[in-house]
Amino acid sequence: MPNPTNPINVALIGSKFMGRAHSNAWLNVGRFFPDAGQAVMHTVAARNAKEVQAFAEQWGWANAGTNWREAATDAEVDLVDVATPNHVHAEQAIAALEAGKHVVCEKPLAGTLADAKAMVDAAEVGGGRTFVWYNYRRVPAVALAHRLVQNGLLGRIYHVRAAYLQSWGGPDTPLLWRFQGDVAGSGAHGDLNAHIIDAVRFITGEEIVRIDGAIEHTFIEERATLAEGAGGEIAGAGADTGGMGESTVDDAVMFMGRLSGGGLASFEASRLATGYHNANRWEIHGEKGAVRFDFERMNELEVYDLDHDGDRQGWTTIDVTRGGDGHPYMEAWWPDSHGLGYEHGFVNQAADILTMLGGGQPLVPMPDFADAYRTQQVLDAALTSAREGQAVDIG
């Protein structure tokens, strides 16, 4: 096992949307978090030789190739970063773990519950540590909400409402891998509900123990097929083949659940929520107050505190950009009120990963494979509830 005090050589598998987000994180983490440790961008692997070479040159990877297994088992590599479609997470992560590597994997952990369980089992016997890119935990406002709730701001939690709403998946969007069930596992559910399930578990410290009802629906049943390698990473702009293919995932899923502390929760994910682009939002209500967040206003956290006198009770908007006042991660970044963006959550997570590999503690809890498996169980139980029309207990 590599000495964690030495620079960490990273191998990235995948060079599309998440590949870019992760590359940016590894490229910049040392510049803003110099005390966290050093990441060396050793190798990137992806399917197209020409594209991956250009990607490596653009993002600063020293080596590029098309054989992911060689990258994942290279003796010089310490940490393998899996940024590929869901159906290959298990194979790639397990191969890296068996080679004694640390592994950080994109979410959801896998396309199926069985694959996710195999990854957890491999992590238990492997020599490396595991991490999962639930990057919204590292948004300063979300990390602050976690801290406040764990310090007792809300007291007993009564209920949660969470939604992740996007609108890019309309009828003109072609048949990307995200609409293919054998590749993605699910649609908006695994892609979006996974994030808000993780957020609720993270902030409340409670588990979702029962699904009491669920609905899944596919509105766009056929989509234009794409030529091999064509299409964008999300909206899928690109030349189609002129044919049509079946979309085999959900466009929207809604479900209700119960928390381990007795509270109630509702979750909603959609790629057809007209008017919303990336509205990752939740609100949590308790006996002593409430908190709410919307990623489309990511530098703000709203808090309602019943300890205030009645004439001053109301929602307070906190500008979560003040490192000197203890706002998580902000000391590494800009002066007060110079807000962060989407990419910064990934850099913050890269810093915590390096800190942990060096023997330190992350600023807020880091999900490993076992933690992410709990979210995968909720995802699976919700689809079972929707398809069987009954409540499902989560073991």
- The predicted pLDDT at position 251 comes to 97
User: 2: pLDDT confidence band, cut at 50, 70 and 90?
Assistant: very low
- The predicted pLDDT at position 127 comes to 86
Which one, of 76, 6, 10, 368, lies nearest residue 202 by Cα? 368
Does pLDDT of 369 surpass 50? yes
Core vs surface per residue 169-194: b (16+ CB within 10 A) or e: beeebbbbbbbbbebbbbbbbbbbbb
Q: How many angstroms separate the Cα of 232 from the Cα of each of 17, 89, 225?
A: 9, 21, 13
Does pLDDT of 240 surpass 90? no
Instruction: Summarize the confidence of residues 142-169 as an average pLDDT.
Output: 97
Same CATH fold, 138-388 and 8-136? no
Does pLDDT of 3 surpass 50? no
Which one, of 74, 62, 197, 61, lies nearest residue 136 by Cα? 197
CATH of domain 8-136: 3.40.50.720
Q: Which CATH superfamily is domain 138-388 in?
A: Dihydrodipicolinate Reductase; domain 2 (3.30.360.10)
Q: How many angstroms separate the Cα of 241 from the Cα of each of 182, 231, 245?
A: 20, 11, 10
Instruction: Summarize the confidence of residues 306-317 as an average pLDDT.
Output: 89
- The predicted pLDDT at position 310 comes to 84
**Are 383 and 253 spatial neighbours (Cβ–Cβ below 8 Å)?**
yes
- The predicted pLDDT at position 237 comes to 54
Does pLDDT of 232 surpass 60? no
Does pLDDT of 391 surpass 80? yes
Query: Does residue 108 have a cis bond before it (omega within 30 degrees)?
Result: yes
Work out the widest C-alpha separation in the chain, in whole angstroms. Answer: 65
Q: How many angstroms separate the Cα of 357 from the Cα of each of 8, 23, 139?
A: 8, 19, 21
User: 308: pLDDT confidence band, cut at 50, 70 and 90?
Assistant: confident
- The predicted pLDDT at position 312 comes to 83
252-259 and 264-270 as β-strands: parallel, antiparallel, unpaired? antiparallel
Does pLDDT of 1 surpass 80? no
Does pLDDT of 371 surpass 90? yes
Q: What angle do CA 379, 384, 386 make, to 5 degrees?
A: 95
Burial of 322 (0-12, 13-18, 19+ CB in 10 A): middle
Return the DSSP state at 50: H
Does pLDDT of 126 surpass 70? yes
- The predicted pLDDT at position 230 comes to 54
Comparing 5 with 290, the larger pLDDT belongs to 290
Structure-block tokens of residue 122? 């491999």
Instruction: Summarize the confidence of residues 236-264 as an average pLDDT.
Output: 88
User: Bridge-partner residues for 104, per DSSP?
Assistant: 81, 131
Q: What is the domain partition of the chain in residue ranges?
A: 8-136, 138-388
Which one, of 271, 137, 147, lies nearest residue 195 by Cα? 137
Structure-block tokens of residue 351? 């810093």
User: 351: pLDDT confidence band, cut at 50, 70 and 90?
Assistant: very high
- The predicted pLDDT at position 131 comes to 98
For 31-90, how does the pLDDT look when each residue is reduced to its tens digit (9 = 90+)?
Answer: 999 999 999 999 999 999 999 999 999 999 999 999 999 999 999 999 999 999 999 999
Comparing 372 with 177, the larger pLDDT belongs to 372
The dihedral of CA 11, 14, 16, 19: what is its sign? negative
Q: What angle do CA 372, 81, 199 make, to 5 degrees?
A: 30
What is the H or E stretch that residue 354 is in?
Answer: helix 342-357
For 210-227, how does the pLDDT look when each residue is reduced to its tens digit (9 = 90+)?
Answer: 999 999 999 999 999 987
Does pLDDT of 195 surpass 50? yes
The values of phi and psi at residue 184, to 5°, are: -85, -25
> For residues 203, 207, 208 and 209, what is the CA-based torsion angle, rounded to 10 degrees?
-170
Instruction: Summarize the confidence of residues 98-105 as an average pLDDT.
Output: 98
> For residues 106, 107, 111 and 117, what is the CA-based torsion angle, rounded to 10 degrees?
90
Instruction: Summarize the confidence of residues 116-144 as an average pLDDT.
Output: 97
Q: What angle do CA 369, 372, 374 make, to 5 degrees?
A: 120
Instruction: Summarize the confidence of residues 122-139 as an average pLDDT.
Output: 96
Does pLDDT of 207 surpass 60? yes
